[in-house]
Amino acid sequence: MGDQLKIFTGNAHPQLAQRISEHLGVPLGNVAVGRFSDGEISVKFQENIRGTDLFLIQPTPPPSDNLFELLTMMDAAKRASARRITAVIPYFGYARQDRKDEGRVPITAKLVADMLTVAGANRIIAMDLHAAQIQGYFNIPFDHLYASAVLIEYVKSRQMKNLVMVSPDVGSLKMARAYARRIGCGYAMVDKVRAKANESEAVHLIGDVKGMNAMIVDDMVDTGGSMVGTAAILRERGVLRIEAVCTHALLSKDGWKKIQDSEIEKFLACDTLPPKNTKEFTKFATVSVAGLFAEAIRRTHDEESISTLFI
């Protein structure tokens, strides 16, 4: 039993956990994550985990139950004497408030980091944080994976001529530049003014895009406003074909419809978040990052370097 690799998941995204399990060749462990009659979360591991190398796979998008399920599973694992507990968080929620940019606001990313550590996490594996500096909020090892390994291969497979990678804001400029360098194409950026949270206005395009084909790249798409606004200004500036890729497709409210009705002709996202009902969203496709997470878990368990995955 000692040092045995075991993986478990909560209710947030069991489909991704199953894919990771299949890549690893390790079956998902048996844990009961349910509710008491008043809605309070209950957790019980249904098998012996003493001395094990435990990996808990759980993205933490809203509602907050997803985060609290992860915290509760970690507390149960710690009290059941797991040797090491690694929280595998494909989408790290509550990351957008990562600093005090105005008075009387919280730093929720730091709050979540503290909760995860206190609950029993010995290590964190996450993908495409909204702000890379969040790693510094932890005093435990943090492995930050990048979806670029799979998304760049997808972009290459599209074989789009005269391609330009486009960042919808300054926050994704580094990502667009990295993609452009590895693909061997140019890049551009939309400069926008944000009136308030979830509302922005695209105002300037930096870069030459006329007569080109554009691939918009972002780490996270929430309401879809920035992505749609970027596509609109690209079309105005003479772009021929517009596609988009992102890691985390939250697409809250009517985000799906916005993109469906936009100038974007194809939209690809990773499977870091649970699937939504997208039967009418004909432009949408997904690519799995299960293989990346499985390899990171395997190397972590075997005490091997995973730096080659940080690309």
For the chain, domain boundaries: 5-146+291-309, 148-287
Contact 238, 211 (CB under 8 A): yes
Contact 151, 127 (CB under 8 A): no
Residues labelled catalytic: 192
- Where do we find the tokens 């985000």? 255
Length of the chain: 311
- What does the pLDDT read at residue 1? 44
Q: Give, in words, the CATH class of 5-146+291-309.
A: alpha beta
Domains 5-146+291-309 and 148-287 belong to one CATH topology: yes
Residue among 296, 298, 256 at smallest CA distance from 275: 256
Q: Which residues of the chain have pLDDT under 50?
A: 1
DSSP strand E in the chain: where? 5-9, 31-35, 41-45, 53-57, 84-89, 123-127, 142-145, 163-167, 186-196, 199-206, 213-221, 242-249, 266-270, 284-287
Q: What is the architecture of the domain spanning 148-287?
A: 3-Layer(aba) Sandwich (3.40)
Report d(CA 192, CA 225) in Å as an integer.
Answer: 11
Helices (H) and strands (E) in the chain, counts: 8, 14
Report d(CA 255, CA 261) in Å as an integer.
Answer: 10
- What does the pLDDT read at residue 253? 87
Report d(CA 166, CA 163) in Å as an integer.
Answer: 10
Residue among 60, 91, 90 at smallest CA distance from 73: 60
- What does the pLDDT read at residue 156? 95
- What does the pLDDT read at residue 307? 84
This prediction's pTM: 0.94
At 100, list the tokens.
């005090």
- What does the pLDDT read at residue 86? 98
- What does the pLDDT read at residue 84? 98
* Angle value at C-alpha 96, between 84 and 192, nearest 5 degrees: 145
